[in-house]
Structure 1
Amino acid sequence: MEKFLIKKPKSTTVEQPSGSVDVNQNENYKRKFRAEWLQSFDWLQNKDGSAFCVACEKAIDNHNAHLKVHEKTATHIRNCESRKKQHTLEMFYDPEQEKQHITVRNAEFALVMFCITHNLPFLIMEYLPALLVECCPDSSIAKLIKCGRTKSTQIAEIIGKKANDRVFETLRNTKFSLIADETTDISTTKSLVLVARFVDSARVVQDRFLALLEVTKSDAVSIFQLIKQFFNTNNIPLKNIIGLATDGANVMAGDAGGVKALLNKETNFFFMTCTCHSLHLCTSYASRHLPKSIDFLCRNIYNYFSHSSKRINDLKEFQEYCSVEPHKILGVSQTRWLSLEGVVARLIEQWDSLKLYFISCFYEVNGIRPAQLAEEMCANTKCYFLFLTYILPIINNLNKDFQSESSRLPYLYSNMKSIYLLIINNFVKHDVCIKETNIDFRSESNQKPLRDIFVGTKAEIFMTKHLSEDDIIEVKRNILSFYVELLNQINNRFDFNREDIKMLQIITPAKVLSQEDLQILPLILTFSELVDCDPDQITSQWNLLRLSDVNLSADMDIDTFWSKLCRG
């Protein structure tokens, strides 16, 4: 029994007369609480080493016999019966039900995100949950989804706010580039779109929508104040902006009073106009040197068939006769920069069937419009269309490349230079052509004879078979004007002498893995004001990288390449 006894410290007592009884003699020892008692008495609790009845809320001596006696008392039995009728928090919490609730909530969020991602109206949510129950009758989750149009709208607002808060929190502590552009919707409301590009914690380049701000005044000062107010309201330092991309309008890109100049007073940043927009404008200006019949045919042939099912069905007979696919005629879009290439290719494909159809309509109903269209579809015009099937893919492929979501800026100089020299090679003498962009292509002494200008293989073959020598010279003279204007516009919109863009080539995978003697220090010094860095540390890491055997390919995407290098 000694092991169940706890000895108390001896208290100082006054010596009592012989024959008297010591009242503290039986209080010197106290029994320990035994854990096995918890299994025998469900109402028992260990409270600081003492037995405690949770039903009666009273302490009991640490003795098995006392516990058994207490269990049989009327008061204890009555308290236990009363306790069984009480509601506890555990009775209201069902882990399985809570897990199912979370699953249903995630399913509703997923459906709302599906509507947002695919630009679907929230009205569809009035019917989609019922459709899911019909398709999945054995799913308990589908039966519990209750998400109509109103709830979907509220969920979308919550998701949008949470997403914005996460992006804003990232931008407060991260350097980023800002993409800004103005747009006008069908209600003639002018808005300013802001998009941020940054590298997240996983070393992945992210593009995130920031805001669509309504613009009341379109001058540079008003737009700048609108941008500044937005970042100040969300506690995002303007100093974190290290890049700015806009269109080429003076309001945005002006060096004197544009948004670029005003923002440059607040922070240093790398500026670049939109390459895709610039290439589209270059092609548009160059196309003005070609005959107007090209634009006339592209627009009017589409308009002739766009609202008449009878004409489309009649055209199918001629398509079958000419053994071509019954494809629809495409129209030119003002906002889709790459649409002209598809329109031209489709008209070339359907050229013979269209011309026969218009001639037939002219003879049968004496139609004026079919006669005009058939007259414009002459051999000379077809040569220009064949030329466009050669030159437009060259421009559009570069345009598509820079519409990619991956980082393409380090490739800008080399790709633009390649296209520039390719076009020059089509009409400049070979002894003048060098691998530099400072060629005087406007001088007639440096240009090839008109007959030797290259306009595409298909156009060359067609001209040789169907055009006279004078017509060939006339067509190529117009195409030469197209080439010259195209290069003039590229020179006006892209500065081949910008050293910062040139030096960015060094960080492409092909350059990093090459055996060339490339130094990173000039690039660091060029962008030293944009990013806080230790030049010595970066130079050392660059040299170690060049000396090490890296198991990576030169053809890798630049974002993937550097992400894998950073992860080591």
Structure 2
Amino acid sequence: MMGINHSVKTLVEGKYPWVTVVKCSCHQCALVASHACKKLSKSLENLCRTVCNHFRHSANRQDAYRKEFQVFTQVEQRRFFALAPTRWLSFQNCARRILEQWDTLMLYWDSLVLDDPSHANDHVRMTLNNPYSRVMMFFVEYVLRELNEFNTNFQSEKPLFHLMKTQVEKLLRTLAINFMKPSYAGTVNPFDINPHDEVNYSPDENVYIGYKGYDFLVGLETREVTCGRFVAESLRIRRSARDFYVEAVQQILDRFPFSEKIYDLVHLLTPSSSYELKVLSIRQFFDYYDSALWNKAKLEQEWRSIPSVALPSTVDLPDVDDMDIVVYWCHILQTKSPNGSRIFPNVGKMVQYFFALPFSNVIAERMFSLLKEVKTDKRNRLSAVTLSATLKTKCGLKRNSKGGLDSGKSVLELEPGLVKRVLKVNASASSRDCNVLNQSIVYGLAKDIVCDIREQSDSD
């Protein structure tokens, strides 16, 4: 798909040289975590998988664990997550849930081994009773949370392409400074960091393993101050953490190449860059994407006129960069001249071009999930027209839900003419009747969206 030899990527680039290929940032982040976790001990992953599988298939075990052990230790009664390879970064959620009930699980498996002394149960009990395994689990929960936050941010449906490079730079610097000298990792360009440069490594005792892991390790040190095992285990944990960081940084550098000029041009859209005219001319945009769509002279003139637009009364000039980028450009592009015509039609085309750039395929994945809910095994003969109409209706219900998406009160207000048309359709309707009905539904949804946009612009 994305290889360098006769893949879809190379074929598309060969036919359309001006196309910019952007890999899914969420999927790339998941691959980074997957490869980096291979540097850690397999016992942690096996623990998450074994604990979940132990309770998943037995209601009696769940009931006994809940009534006898969770009640006794007074922990919140929650189920364990499955370590699913098809779910992005599920390891972090599994680790967090096990850490919440670590002491309870220790009691449960100590009791279980007495009744069922199998090799698997004994291995789980030994892992749970090993305090250094707990430290490593704290580290896993911390470091995967950093990657999970990046992943979650780019699962949004808002246009975030302009933030991708800066967020990757932030993630690189955060990971690098955890195992390298701050004088190096904090000053050099994040994309020039060499994670294999041992000269710039921090001492072993300074490798960061997260606050909870460090705090738990300090508690072990006070209890085992005379034990030589603590020194060896502490060194092993920090070196394993460093191996994770090295692999994670290298994977990010390999999977997030920002050599394309589009990643620098997209910063034209930030509120401060456009409103304060940090880029006086957008000639570089024409050099990158020269098309008959642009009236270059007028686009340049409109660009330089943006600072003349008054900001909303609630925003001061120093705070312009804190504005949501969609709200900012809606305010700019809705500005009209005294005769009622829009002032920035050409800038609007450029903004639409940038906002259309993809940064992940999460939206498509969500639509596939929605499609799977509609086209089930018992409804596998639905036509494409029916599927399309059903999905548009479901999306329209979510968009027009009253009280928010979580209120559970989804109401779609249909036009009276549309209702009459639906009532006239027979059970044995022809394909033409279905197409007409589908077009009517699309028209009704589009009309609702336009009305919402007009009401929002009027209120602004």
TM-score (ref. length: structure 1): 0.53
Higher strand proportion = 1
Query: Residue deviations 1:127-157, cap 9 Å, x none?
Result: xxxxxxxxxxxxxxxxxxxxxxxxxxxxxxx
Structure-2 separation of matches of 1:548 and 1:562? 11
Matches within 5 A, 1:450-461: 450-461=204-215
Structure-1 separation of matches of 2:182 and 2:90? 34
Structure-1 separation of matches of 2:93 and 2:247? 23
Residue ranges of structure 1 left out of the alignment (5+ in a row): 1-251
| Aligned-residue offset at 1:546 | 3.2
Q: Which amino acid aligns with 1:559?
A: V
Contact 2:135–2:216 (CA<8 Å) still a contact in 1? Answer: yes
Structure 1 stretch displaced more, 461-470 or 441-450:
461-470
1:566 paired residue among 321, 324, 333:
333
Q: Which amino acid aligns with 1:555?
A: D
| Aligned-residue offset at 1:270 | 1.7
Pairing 1:541–2:302 present: yes
| Aligned-residue offset at 1:459 | 0.6
| Aligned-residue offset at 1:335 | 1.7
For the aligned residues, what is the CA RMSD? Answer: 2.0
Q: Structure 2 vs 1, CA of residues 381 and 511 (structure 1 numbering), >3 Å: closer, same or farther?
A: farther
Pairing 1:333–2:333 present: no
Pairing 1:508–2:270 present: yes
Matches within 5 A, 1:321-400: 321-377=72-128, 378-400=130-152
Identity of aligned residues (%): 25
Tell me which residue corresponds to 1:295.
Answer: 45
Tell me which residue corresponds to 2:170.
Answer: 418
Tell me which residue corresponds to 2:439.
Answer: none
| Aligned-residue offset at 1:484 | 0.3
Matches within 5 A, 1:221-260: 252-260=1-9
Structure-1 separation of matches of 2:195 and 2:116? 51
Q: Structure 2 vs 1, CA of residues 336 and 266 (structure 1 numbering), >3 Å: closer, same or farther?
A: same
Contact 2:33–2:89 (CA<8 Å) still a contact in 1? Answer: no
Structure-2 separation of matches of 1:428 and 1:503? 31
| Aligned-residue offset at 1:254 | 3.0
Tell me which residue corresponds to 1:73.
Answer: none
Q: Structure 2 vs 1, CA of residues 393 and 514 (structure 1 numbering), >3 Å: closer, same or farther?
A: farther
TM-score (ref. length: structure 2): 0.65
Structure-2 separation of matches of 1:287 and 1:368? 25
Contact 2:277–2:304 (CA<8 Å) still a contact in 1? Answer: no
Aligned pair count reads 316
| Aligned-residue offset at 1:281 | 0.4
Structure-2 separation of matches of 1:460 and 1:557? 37
SS at match of 2:193: coil
Q: Structure 2 vs 1, CA of residues 416 and 370 (structure 1 numbering), >3 Å: closer, same or farther?
A: same
Q: Which amino acid aligns with 2:166?
A: S
Contact 2:280–2:304 (CA<8 Å) still a contact in 1? Answer: no
SS at match of 1:489: helix
Contact 2:32–2:252 (CA<8 Å) still a contact in 1? Answer: yes
2:21 paired residue among 261, 271, 275:
271
Tell me which residue corresponds to 1:439.
Answer: 193
Query: Residue deviations 1:191-224, cap 9 Å, x none?
Result: xxxxxxxxxxxxxxxxxxxxxxxxxxxxxxxxxx
Tell me which residue corresponds to 2:284.
Answer: 522
Matches within 5 A, 1:453-492: 453-466=207-220, 468-492=230-254
Structure-2 separation of matches of 1:341 and 1:442? 26
Matches within 5 A, 1:33-44: none
Contact 2:80–2:94 (CA<8 Å) still a contact in 1? Answer: yes
Pairing 1:281–2:31 present: yes
Tell me which residue corresponds to 2:180.
Answer: 428
Q: Structure 2 vs 1, CA of residues 363 and 256 (structure 1 numbering), >3 Å: closer, same or farther?
A: closer
Contact 1:290–1:478 (CA<8 Å) still a contact in 2? Answer: yes
Contact 1:450–1:476 (CA<8 Å) still a contact in 2? Answer: yes
Q: Which amino acid aligns with 1:260?
A: K
Query: Residue deviations 1:514-567, cap 9 Å, x none?
Result: 5745543223322225x7212322222111113543336533432333233222
Contact 1:362–1:368 (CA<8 Å) still a contact in 2? Answer: no
| Aligned-residue offset at 1:262 | 1.6
Q: Structure 2 vs 1, CA of residues 547 and 256 (structure 1 numbering), >3 Å: closer, same or farther?
A: farther
Structure-2 separation of matches of 1:338 and 1:440? 25
Q: Which amino acid aligns with 2:6?
A: G
Structure 1 stretch displaced more, 297-306 or 309-318:
309-318
Greater relative contact order: 1 or 2 (C-alpha under 8 angstroms, separation 6 or more)? 2
Q: Which amino acid aligns with 1:348?
A: L
Residue ranges of structure 2 left out of the alignment (5+ in a row): 222-229, 336-460
Higher helix proportion = 2
Pairing 1:404–2:149 present: no
| Aligned-residue offset at 1:436 | 1.1
